[in-house]
A = this chain, B = another copy of it.
Amino acid sequence: MTVISLMTDFGIKDGNVGVMKGVIWGIAPHAQISDLSHMIQPQNIREAALILARSAPYFPEDSVHVVVVDPGVGTARRPMAAKIGSQFYVGPDNGTITLLLERAEDEGWQTEFVHLDKPQYWLDKISHVFHGRDIFAPAAGHLASGVSLAELGTRILDPVRLALPKPEQTGHGWRGEIIHIDHFGNLASNIRIEHLAEALKHMDKVTVTLAGEVIRGMVNTFGERQPGDLVALMGSTGNLIVSVVNGSAAERIGVKTGDPIDVSW
């Protein structure tokens, strides 16, 4: 009973996600399908890469993650499937797996990539504009029903990678940037727990600065401060986040993804 996750920028009103499930269940009737997100900002591969990397570790072995954020649909960009550690990726070869690959290298996981170039594993008729339905959903279904990665396509060694911004060390800590604003208005940065090992030993001595706001001290959780207070803490996936207790930091501070954030101690 393979788990398949779906992430797209298709939204939820036009039926396109439902159609992908119809195609998958036509091939793999027992698959469990989890929607990861269909509200990725249109064509924002970087946002999809971030959510994929932080979500995949919580899925069972052999899960198949289908991600279709695909501005290049119908052009020369390769449709791809990959095995990264114990799980599979299916989607365009456009860098969506960049952060997951970095994790694989850190952890020593094995990786394998194929170009989905075998039409016998696609739908009979292929549109130029909806490979999610015509190529990727069938590929996920075939993986879930036991077809091997190697059967689905020709091996490749050079998947596309995004050039993602990395935090930089400063005199007194790290400078990173805001990489995601969530439904609650929490602001997540690319400064991670690995960068802050020293700082987290003395959380009251840490200062976080962004958009002119200075937050003195970090907390473990929201309940340590009063509703309405601006706080800095480690988010549930190991990134430094800035939040308003029971409120929205995004509404309070006019910040957008890409804006700088500084941590010092």
A residues touching B (Cβ–Cβ < 8 Å)? 1, 3, 5, 7, 9-15, 17-19, 21-23, 25-26, 29-30, 32-40, 42-43, 51, 54-55, 58-60, 63, 71-76, 123, 127-130, 133-134, 180, 182-184, 220-224, 233-236, 246
Instruction: Give the distance to chain B from A16, nearest Cβ to Cβ, in Å.
Output: 8
Interface of chain A, main secondary structure: loop
Do A246 and B13 touch (CB < 8 A)?
A: no
Do A223 and B73 touch (CB < 8 A)?
A: yes
Do B26 and A60 touch (CB < 8 A)?
A: yes
- This protein's copies in its complex: 3
Do B25 and A3 touch (CB < 8 A)?
A: yes
| Residue of A9, A36, A60, A74 most packed against chain B (CB within 10 A) | A36
Instruction: Give the distance to chain B from A126, nearest Cβ to Cβ, in Å.
Output: 10
Do A55 and B12 touch (CB < 8 A)?
A: no
**In the complex, A90 Cα to B177 Cα: how many Å?**
36
- What B residues does A7 contact at CB under 8 A? 15, 18
- What B residues does A58 contact at CB under 8 A? 19, 22-23, 26, 123, 133
Do A220 and B74 touch (CB < 8 A)?
A: yes
Do B15 and A1 touch (CB < 8 A)?
A: no
Do B59 and A221 touch (CB < 8 A)?
A: no
- What B residues does A60 contact at CB under 8 A? 22, 25-26, 29
Do A129 and B55 touch (CB < 8 A)?
A: no
Do B18 and A1 touch (CB < 8 A)?
A: no
Known A18-B36, A54-B15: A128·B233 in contact at CB below 8 Å: yes
**In the complex, A76 Cα to B221 Cα: how many Å?**
11
Among the listed B13, B72, B221, B233, which residue makes an inter-chain contact with A39, where contact means beta carbons less than 8 Å apart?
A: B13
Do B129 and A222 touch (CB < 8 A)?
A: yes
